Amino acid sequence: MTKTVTTRINDDGLRYRSKTVGSPFASKANTRSCFKCGKHRTPDQLQSKKLLGKTEMVCKPSCKELAEALGE
């Protein structure tokens, strides 16, 4: 995200005073989430692995290494 977004909740805790419009994934039409860490990644950042008897998409080479490479 290039813009700084300010979102606040009213004193009653029920409503936003300001909220960005749209989905946080609108610009990334082709993303999937990692089965292990849950972060959304592009297809080139994921690999398939057999986990719990099913093929799932996970970060490649690993969640920790990819997060470090992306500065997360």
The answer to whether position 8 is within a domain reads: no
Spatial contact of 72 and 52, defined as CB atoms under 8 Å apart: no
The answer to whether position 3 is within a domain reads: no
pTM assigned to the model? 0.55
Per-residue pLDDT 10s for the chain (72 aa) are 566 656 666 677 666 656 666 666 555 568 889 999 999 998 899 999 998 899 999 999 999 999 899 888
The answer to whether position 19 is within a domain reads: no
The answer to whether position 11 is within a domain reads: no
- The number of distinct structural domains making up the chain is 1
The answer to whether position 7 is within a domain reads: no
The answer to whether position 59 is within a domain reads: yes
The answer to whether position 15 is within a domain reads: no
| Whole-Å CA distances, 29 to 25, 58, 62, 69 | 7, 18, 23, 22
Structural domain for 63, as ranges: 27-72
Instruction: Give φ, ψ of 7 to 5 degrees.
Output: -125, 130
